[in-house]
Amino acid sequence: MRVFELYMKRIIRRRMTLILILVLPIVFTYSVVAQYKQAQQVTLTLYAKDAAVGAYVTGMLEKQDVIVKQADSKEGAADSSSNLGVVLTQSASEVYSGKGAVTALKYAKEQSFNSSSLEVKINSVLSVMQTLARNAPDEGAFAASLKKAAEAKPAIEVHRSILGNPNAVVLTSSFNMIVFIIMFLTMTNTMLFLGDKVHTTTQRILLAAYSKLSYYIQTAAVFAVVGVVQFLIMIGLLTAVFRIELTLSPAQLLLLILAYGLLNVVAAGIGLLLVSRTTGNATGRLLISVVCLPMAMLGGTLWPSSIMPESMQRLARILPTNWITEVNAEMFSGFGRHAGEIALHIGSLGVLAALLFLLLMRVRTENI
């Protein structure tokens, strides 16, 4: 265990490396969860010249779970960061005298599902307003009907029910992101061994190990421990801070920890192989970027593999990053989990780790 203790102490003593190990999971988990929650919110910025019209539109939209923000000017509604900006310049009196004719200006910085659904909602709200104006006997009755419609309970109550785990998307996205963190950070940390190689420190450290295999096992164990720590930080954030239920049994959680530990071993093995092929720091970092980034992108850590062309999806199936993202999808789906597929992916990670150790055993001592 001397090699394990030595390298663990070196990582802990390197402040920047330790900070990255602790901070990156926090930053990426927060960004994924914040983005997910933001995507779930449907927001509209409204500028209404007439208070009665504004109160009516706001009340009707809020019944449909729309977050309505009030703008102080037309420009404020047009330049807002909401899904849709709406400008209504007619007063209730003008709408009534015009027999219900309503003009609305709509602004969307980018077309999306939320902006399109909001256009449908605002059109329906204004359509109801037109009907109320046509059926009102006088202007006072029209104003009263606007107020009554805004304050009334919805005629139809909609109860949403999500099949499977309602937090499946945010959980899968968060844990897919940690796959990228693990691959990149672990492979980058293997560059620590390049300086030892150049200064023949590794050859002296090898003397403290029983064999070359023992040296590599202890070295990979360091990165496995680091990966498990990052994993537990993520779990703590998701459950304690963001209050997101993992819906995993203790056995499933241990299985997931095993998968991420094996991923760390695989990433360390690939990084050590790359270190053995170079003596230059810049070249080593370039090799790590060339190998790590395509594996992360094709493996589905940054976006779903399903949106890629079929040829790239076939390539992704042989990548360890894809195996672990598939494990995430199966674990957090909330449906009947396919134990066979999960076992196959985790077993594939174990087989790959063993193959990498075999390759590392063939590396000449002077190249370690």
User: In which residue ranges of the chain is pLDDT below 50?
Assistant: none
189 vs 12: CA distance, rounded Å: 12
The secondary structure of 25-46 as a DSSP string is: HHHHHHHHHHHHHHHH--EEEE
How do beta strands 43-48 and 67-70 pair? parallel
pLDDT attached to residue 153: 81
42-151 is classed CATH 3.40.190: yes
**Residue for token digits 């499933």?**
252
3, β-bridge pairs: none
pLDDT attached to residue 321: 92
Q: What digits encode the pLDDT tens for the residues 89-102?
A: 999 988 888 766 78
Locate the domains of the chain by residue range.
Answer: 2-36+165-362, 42-151
Report which DSSP code applies to 161. Answer: -
Phi/psi of residue 264, nearest 5 degrees: -65, -40
pLDDT attached to residue 34: 77
Other CB atoms closer than 10 Å to residue 298's CB: what's the count?
A: 20
pTM above 0.85, yes or no: no
Q: Which two tokens stand for residue 256?
A: 């997931």
215 vs 186: CA distance, rounded Å: 17
